C-alpha cells in the first residue's frame, strides 16, 4: 500500500463489534478472562491495549519495521532504548542532539556503567575514531536538533552492522513520510510522537520501531516491565494525527523551503540552517536518503540580545517549547531545549547563544513571512 493509505488503515480495521470506522478508545485498565489461562489477547492495560496496538502496528508499517512500541513520552522511548544496554557498554552519539537526550545520557545512564562519546556523526572518520571494542550502540539524529547537521545513514548502518552494533535513529524531525532509516539499514527508530506524528500539540508520547526480532522481544518485555506506556486516548490522538501526516508534512515542507530561501538572503542574519538550501553542507546527502526537507529551520542572530528581540517581536510564531504542530513556534535552544548541554559542548556543535529555532507551521506563507519580517526589523 502507499504511505497515505497505510497511515489511514494500517492496524485500524473497522471495529468488529460495532463496525466503527475509527479505532475506539479502549479506556479500560483490565479485561475479563474466560477462564484460567484463557483470554482474548488482552490481560492488563499496561501490557496490552487495543488502541495502543493499533498505533504500534501503524507506526511499524509506516517505518517499514518489524514491531512498534508506544511510550508515554519521547524520552521514555529513548530511555527504553538504553535499557537494551549493559554496564560496560559504550555508545557513540551525535554531538548536536536534543538537549533532553544528552541530559538522559550524561546525567542518568552513564551512572549505570554505560559510557558515551559525542562526535559529529556527519564525519564518518570521527565516528570510526570514537569506536571501541565495547561500542554497542550508534545513536544518531539527522537532521540534528537544532543545527540541522546531516549524517549519512547508509554509511553509518554499514559501519554499525560490520562491528556488530545497533544503529538507532531519532526520526522525529523527518517522520517516516520523508525519511525511513530502517530502509537505509538502521536497527531502531525513535520518535517523539508529541511532534509531527500527532501534529496538533495536544498530547505527549513517544515510540520505538524495531527491525530486529530479538530486539523486539526484549523491548516488549521492557515496555511491560518498566511500564512507561501511554494512555489509550493519547494513542488515539496520534492515530488521528497520522491520518493527515502526508498532507501536513507537504505543507510544512513547502512553507519551510520558502521561509528558508527568504531568510538566507536577509542582510541581518549571519547564518541560516536548513538542509533544503542548496549551499547547506549536507544538502546532497540528505536528498539522497530523504524525500523532503521538513519544517525545521534555525538561524543565527549574532547574540543572545539580538535573538531575544526577535523572539519578543513575533506574533504568529509563538515563543514555546516543542515543534511539529500545525501552528508555527519559535524558540531559543541555548536557554530552552538545550539548556542542560554545557556551553562548551553547545558551541562545539554550532549552537550559539544567538541561535533561534523555527518550527514552521501550516499557516499561509504570506502571513508567516510578514511576521518574521516584522520581527527581524527589531535587529
Class of domain 3-242: alpha beta
Q: Which three cell numbers stand for residue 205?
A: 508520547
CB 179 within 8 Å of CB 285: no
Catalytic residue among 136, 195, 257, 357: 195
Active site includes 218?
Answer: no
Residue 348 pLDDT exceeds 80: no
H or E, element range at 139: strand 135-141
What is the mean pLDDT of the segment spanning 341-370?
89
Catalytic residue among 170, 234, 253, 300: 170
- Distance, in Å, from the CA atom of 288 to the CA atom of 11, rounded to the nearest integer, reads 30
What is the mean pLDDT of the segment spanning 207-231?
97
Active site includes 195?
Answer: yes
| H-helix segments, the chain | 3-9, 50-62, 74-82, 99-107, 124-130, 153-162, 175-178, 213-226, 232-242, 245-264, 283-289, 304-313, 343-348, 365-376
- Distance, in Å, from the CA atom of 307 to the CA atom of 375, rounded to the nearest integer, reads 10
Kindly report the average pLDDT of the chain as a whole number.
95
pLDDT of residue 236: 98
Query: What does the angle CA 95 – CA 99 – CA 102 come to, to the nearest 5 degrees?
Result: 60
Catalytic residue among 6, 52, 67, 98: 98
CATH architecture of the domain with range 246-376: Alpha-Beta Complex (3.90)
Predicted confidence band at 334 (pLDDT cuts at 50, 70, 90)?
Answer: confident
What is the mean pLDDT of the segment spanning 33-48?
87
Active site includes 83?
Answer: no
- Distance, in Å, from the CA atom of 244 to the CA atom of 11, rounded to the nearest integer, reads 16
What is the mean pLDDT of the segment spanning 71-100?
96
- Distance, in Å, from the CA atom of 338 to the CA atom of 347, rounded to the nearest integer, reads 11
pLDDT of residue 142: 97
pLDDT of residue 35: 84
pLDDT of residue 90: 98
pLDDT of residue 3: 97
**SS3 per-residue string spanning 39-73:** CCCCCECCCCCHHHHHHHHHHHHHCCCCEEEEECC
What is the mean pLDDT of the segment spanning 111-119?
97
Q: Would you tell me how many other CB atoms lie within 10 Å of the CB of residue 173? A: 28
Q: Per-domain residue ranges for the chain?
A: 3-242, 246-376
- Distance, in Å, from the CA atom of 164 to the CA atom of 75, rounded to the nearest integer, reads 25
Active site includes 98?
Answer: yes
Predicted confidence band at 21 (pLDDT cuts at 50, 70, 90)?
Answer: very high
pLDDT of residue 351: 81
CB contact set of 178 (below 8 Å; sequence gap of 6+): 249, 253, 290, 291, 292, 293, 294
Residue 96 pLDDT exceeds 80: yes
- Distance, in Å, from the CA atom of 58 to the CA atom of 51, rounded to the nearest integer, reads 11
pLDDT of residue 299: 96
CB 11 within 8 Å of CB 61: yes
pLDDT of residue 188: 98
pLDDT of residue 41: 83
Catalytic residue among 46, 103, 110, 240: 46
pLDDT of residue 172: 98
pLDDT of residue 349: 74
pTM: 0.95
Amino acid at each position: 500500500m502507499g504511505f497515505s493509505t497505510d497511515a489511514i488503515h494500517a492496524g485500524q480495521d473497522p471495529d468488529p463489534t460495532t463496525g466503527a470506522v475509527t479505532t475506539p478508545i479502549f479506556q479500560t485498565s483490565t479485561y475479563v478472562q474466560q477462564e484460567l489461562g484463557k483470554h482474548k489477547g488482552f490481560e492488563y492495560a499496561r501490557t496490552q491495549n487495543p488502541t495502543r496496538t493499533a498505533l504500534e502496528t501503524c507506526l511499524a508499517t509506516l517505518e517499514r519495521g518489524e514491531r512498534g512500541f508506544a511510550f508515554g513520552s519521547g524520552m521514555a522511548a529513548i530511555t527504553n532504548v538504553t535499557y537494551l544496554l549493559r554496564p560496560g557498554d559504550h555508545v557513540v552519539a551525535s554531538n548536536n542532539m536534543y538537549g533532553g537526550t544528552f541530559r538522559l545520557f550524561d546525567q542518568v545512564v552513564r551512572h549505570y556503567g554505560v559510557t558515551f562519546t559525542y562526535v559529529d556523526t556527519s564525519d564518518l572518520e570521527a565516528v570510526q575514531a570514537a569506536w571501541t571494542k565495547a561500542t554497542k550502540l550508534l545513536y544518531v539524529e539527522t537532521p540534528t536538533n537544532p543545527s540541522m547537521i546531516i549524517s549519512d545513514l547508509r554509511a553509518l548502518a554499514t559501519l554499525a552492522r560490520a562491528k556488530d552494533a545497533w544503529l538507532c535513529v531519532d526520526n522525529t524531525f523527518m517522520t517516516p513520510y520523508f525519511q525511513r532509516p530502517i530502509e537505509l539499514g538502521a536497527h531502531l527508530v525513535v520518535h517523539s510522537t508529541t511532534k509531527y506524528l500527532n501534529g496538533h500539540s495536544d498530547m505527549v508520547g513517544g515510540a520505538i520501531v524495531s527491525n530486529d526480532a530479538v530486539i523486539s522481544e526484549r523491548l516488549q518485555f521492557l515496555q511491560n516491565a518498566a511500564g512507561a506506556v501511554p494512555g489509550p486516548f493519547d494513542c488515539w490522538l496520534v492515530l488521528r494525527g497520522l491520518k493527515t501526516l502526508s498532507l501536513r508534512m507537504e505543507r510544512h515542507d513547502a512553507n519551510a523551503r520558502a521561509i528558508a530561501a527568504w531568510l538566507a538572503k536577509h542582510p541581518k542574519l549571519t547564518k541560516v540552517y536548513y538542509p533544503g538550501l542548496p549551499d547547506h553542507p549536507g544538502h546532497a546527502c540528505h536528498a539522497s536518503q530523504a524525500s523532503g526537507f521538513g519544517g525545521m529551520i534555525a538561524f543565527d542572530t549574532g547574540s543572545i540580545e539580538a535573538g531575544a528581540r526577535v523572539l519578543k517581536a513575533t506574533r504568529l510564531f509563538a515563543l514555546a517549547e516543542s515543534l511539529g504542530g500545525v501552528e508555527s513556534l519559535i524558540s531559543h535552544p541555548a536557554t530552552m531545549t538545550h539548556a542542560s548541554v554545557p556551553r562548551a559542548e553547545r558551541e562545539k556543535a554550532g549552537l550559539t547563544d544567538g541561535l533561534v529555532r523555527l518550527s514552521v507551521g501550516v499557516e499561509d506563507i504570506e502571513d508567516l513571512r510578514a511576521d518574521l519580517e516584522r520581527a527581524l526589523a527589531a535587529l
